[in-house]
Amino acid sequence: MKDRTRDPMLKTTARSLALVDQIRKCGGAKLPQLADDLSLAKSTVYKHAMTLYEHGYLVKEDDYYYIGPKFLSLGEHARSRKPGYQIADKAVRELTDATDEEVDFVIEDHGRIITISESYHKWVKYPGEGESNRYRARMGTYYPMHATATGKAILAALPRARVEAILDRWGLPAKTDNTITARRDFFEELDRITERGYAVDDEEFADGLRSVGMAVTRPDGTIIGAMSVSGPSYRVTGEVLEQGIIPELERTVESFERRLAKNRPDES
């Protein structure tokens, strides 16, 4: 008789995590709503919610459950646990000073990218002050790889089989009219990125936003993440990219990688 591969995941843990995701998605929710959204009995949801609450992962205000501050502690640990990620903070600040534009450093996580370091240019308007809200990156926010400069830069450096697996999972959904949504066209785009060494998001993720990104690699060639410079398309023109931003991005990534080389591979 052949051994059957068992599912290594615990359903109870998966339900707790689904509960957390749903509360985050809703920005806070009551038990009846969560039970309906997750198709679970109210008593089951209550047990999961109370367990998370008692361990500090949820807070309760009136009848609503919210994400607890313990996740902030865990998130900061994840963001800064490697020296390579700490090096990114300095590189991001340097590139922001050099370009006067928004700079982000992202890493790949389960086929998406997540921002772990960011710095905004001096023209950024904060919430409630204008249109810049629509293109500001958010620390800890996930973004699709196929529609972003950093995501495409990372994909271009990955093995073809890995890229295929990511596209199988997440697809190529259109974010704007400029998003590449055909797989053949997308692989041709990755070939162009490999040839020139950087990726451009030309209003593919958000209308009015243009970005350029480069992968950051360790000495052994493995990818640690990617850096990008972003700004409104009326300011970040093709000439500005070619003559100003791309050379500064290349210099910063080269400096970043030299610093990485000074750390042991298992530390960066």
Rounded to an integer, what distance in angstroms lies between the CA atom of residue 85 and that of residue 39? 39
Domain 11-68 - what CATH class?
Answer: mainly alpha
The pLDDT-based confidence of 170 (bands split at 50, 70, 90) is very high
**Start-end of CATH 1.10.10.10 domains in the chain:** 11-68
What pLDDT digit, counting tens, does each position of 111-139 carry?
A: 999 998 888 755 554 444 444 444 455 67
**What is the distance between the terminal CA atoms of the chain, rounded to a whole angstrom?**
45
Q: Choose the weakest-confidence range: 91-105, 122-136, 137-151, 204-218.
A: 122-136
The pLDDT value given to residue 195: 96
Sheet strands (E) in 7-94: 58-61, 64-67
**Start-end of CATH 3.30.450.40 domains in the chain:** 75-261
The pLDDT value given to residue 106: 94
Reported pTM: 0.79
Phi-psi region of 212 (alpha: psi -120 to 50; beta: other; left: phi over 0): beta
What CATH fold (topology level) applies to the domain 75-261? Beta-Lactamase (3.30.450)
Instruction: Determine the Cα angle at 134 with ends 132 and 135, to 5°.
Output: 75
The pLDDT value given to residue 137: 53
Task: Spell out the residues 6+ positions from residue 154 whose beta carbon is closer than 8 angstroms to its own.
Answer: 106, 108, 113, 145, 215, 223, 225, 226
Rounded to an integer, what distance in angstroms lies between the CA atom of residue 216 and that of residue 198? 11
The pLDDT-based confidence of 78 (bands split at 50, 70, 90) is confident
Nearest to 199 by CA among 146, 153, 231, 246: 153
Task: Spell out the residues 6+ positions from residue 6 whose beta carbon is closer than 8 angstroms to its own.
Answer: none
The pLDDT-based confidence of 264 (bands split at 50, 70, 90) is low
